[in-house]
Amino acid sequence: IRLVIHGGAGTIDRARLSAEREAEYTAALAIALAAGHAVLERGGSSVDAVIAAITVMEDSPLFNAGRGAVFNHEGRNEHDASIMDGATRGAGAVAAVGVIRNPIRAAEAVMRHSPHVMLTGAGAEAFAREQGLEIVDPAWFRTEERWRQLQKAIAAQRIVRDHDALPESAYRDDDKRGTVGAVALDRHGNLAAGTSTGGLTNKRYGRIGDSPVIGAGTWADNRSVAVSATGTGEMFIRSAASHTVAELVRLAGKTPADAADATLAEVAAIGGDGGLIVLDASGEYAMRFNTSGMYRGTVGEDGAGWIGIFGGPERRISLPVAP
Ligand code: ASP
């Protein structure tokens, strides 16, 4: 069994992250690892482990997913999420949803209980209601920090309004990325992957990134690997990033780490950056990024947690008892 998680990649360095914040992120990642590990340990499925880990991060205000998601231009949170089952290549996704407490559960419901792969907006919300998922007031997702980030982004946008197209840097919140994702391998040898995000601060026009796009932000196939991505979504879509990683493993025989690096190079070649977590059916995994940091962690059979935020090796930590 193995679980690998990320909480977003970006400009994350020691100079910007206080020791307290670092401890908060480490604790949140540890709870997510513990929740997913508990599922795998008792023989649960990789899909359920991915959901358990992502739900913890969605409910944490620290990450840009669920509670604590970034705001769009209109001052609303619009969530995107997806999940894929490597045993069947079943997949589900929701995009631009605003009232579903845990978007990853809505993605799961689409996979399990609809003939479709992707539902958006009001339709996805109606489906989630029918499925009995928890619906919340949009205020549930709001944090003051994210609100301030929107005001800053709006101010920056005014400066660049003369241009036809805003440069990416004008509206992305570079040091506060925090898309979340998980990949898992269960006792039955099945892989699964999931990703959840609030997208980009100050996004407009119903913009949807890579996170809910199967093959871009998320991919799982027992014959190759499970993958979750974070980064400049447009470039991850244009690189079919998660699927590219999988096919480099399956068809080109690359290791998870080499396949991730080769894919990040493809993303970089068109001006993007970010990170990838990758896990194969033998338990070999990689947590790769071409940004200064990525919130990340993993746990295997022995129950020891490994967590990293900046570049360099992950640190061993003991996991809390799962709730
Ligand atoms: N990939 C996400 C998106 O484009 C953002 C991120 O990972 O920071 O919506």
pLDDT grade for 157, boundaries at 50, 70 and 90: low
193: CB partners within 8 A, 6+ apart:
50, 83, 84, 86, 181, 182, 183, 184, 218, 219, 220, 226, 227, 228, 242
Task: Determine if ligand 1 sits within 6 Å of the CB of residue 194.
Answer: no
DSSP 3-state assignment of 38?
helix
pLDDT grade for 172, boundaries at 50, 70 and 90: very low
At residue 163, the pLDDT reads 24
Q: Which of 210, 214, 218 for a ligand 1 pocket mutation test, highest count of atoms within 8 Å of Cβ?
A: 210
Percent of the chain with pLDDT over 90: 84
What is the per-residue DSSP string for 272-302? --EEEEEEETTS-EEEEESSSEEEEEEEETT
Whether the pLDDT of residue 234 is over 70: the answer is yes
Question: Could you read off the pLDDT of 16-57 as tens digits, one per residue?
Answer: 788 999 999 999 999 999 999 999 999 999 999 999 999 999
At residue 177, the pLDDT reads 63
Give the residue, by CA position, lying nearest to ligand 1 atom 7. Answer: 230
Q: Which of 177, 213, 270 for a ligand 1 pocket mutation test, highest count of atoms within 8 Å of Cβ?
A: 177
Known catalytic residues are: 179
Task: Determine if ligand 1 sits within 6 Å of the CB of residue 272.
Answer: no
* Ligand 1 atom at minimum distance from 64 CA: 8
Percent of the chain with pLDDT over 70: 93
Task: Determine if ligand 1 sits within 6 Å of the CB of residue 210.
Answer: yes
Higher pLDDT, 284 or 16: 284
Q: Which of 82, 97, 179 for a ligand 1 pocket mutation test, highest count of atoms within 8 Å of Cβ?
A: 179
Question: Could you read off the pLDDT of 48-103 as tens digits, one per residue?
Answer: 999 999 999 999 999 999 999 999 999 999 999 999 999 999 999 999 999 999 99
Question: Could you read off the pLDDT of 192-206 as tens digits, one per residue?
Answer: 999 999 999 889 999
Task: Determine if ligand 1 sits within 6 Å of the CB of residue 305.
Answer: no
Average of per-residue pLDDT across 162-172: 36
Q: How far is the CA of 10 from the centre of ligand 1 (A)?
A: 10
Task: Determine if ligand 1 sits within 6 Å of the CB of residue 8.
Answer: yes
At residue 323, the pLDDT reads 65
Q: How far is the CA of 187 from the centre of ligand 1 (A)?
A: 31
Task: Determine if ligand 1 sits within 6 Å of the CB of residue 177.
Answer: yes
At residue 161, the pLDDT reads 24
Average of per-residue pLDDT across 158-167: 30
Q: How far is the CA of 43 from the centre of ligand 1 (A)?
A: 32
Query: 266 phi and psi, to 5 degrees?
Result: -60, -45
Higher pLDDT, 156 or 302: 302
Buried b (16+ CB within 10 A) or exposed e, 22-54: eeebbebbbbbbbbbbbbbbeebbbbbbbbbbb
Half-sphere exposure of 253 (CA within 13 A, CB side): 0
pLDDT grade for 190, boundaries at 50, 70 and 90: very high
Whether the pLDDT of residue 15 is over 90: the answer is no
Nearest to 12 by CA among 90, 64, 83: 64
Q: How far is the CA of 231 from the centre of ligand 1 (A)?
A: 5
At residue 150, the pLDDT reads 85
Q: How far is the CA of 17 from the centre of ligand 1 (A)?
A: 20
Mean pLDDT of the chain: 92
Return the minimum-mean-pLDDT range out of 63-67, 171-175, 211-215: 171-175
At residue 166, the pLDDT reads 38
Joined together, the tokens standing for residue 217 give 């932000």
At residue 153, the pLDDT reads 82
Task: Determine if ligand 1 sits within 6 Å of the CB of residue 275.
Answer: no
Task: Determine if ligand 1 sits within 6 Å of the CB of residue 5.
Answer: no
What pTM was estimated for this model as a whole?
0.94
Nearest to 49 by CA among 61, 60, 62, 38: 38
Question: Could you read off the pLDDT of 248-283 as tens digits, one per residue?
Answer: 999 999 999 999 999 999 999 999 999 999 999 999
Whether the pLDDT of residue 162 is over 60: the answer is no
pLDDT grade for 169, boundaries at 50, 70 and 90: very low
Higher pLDDT, 317 or 14: 317
Task: Determine if ligand 1 sits within 6 Å of the CB of residue 256.
Answer: no
Q: How far apart are CA 52 and CA 60, in angstroms?
A: 13
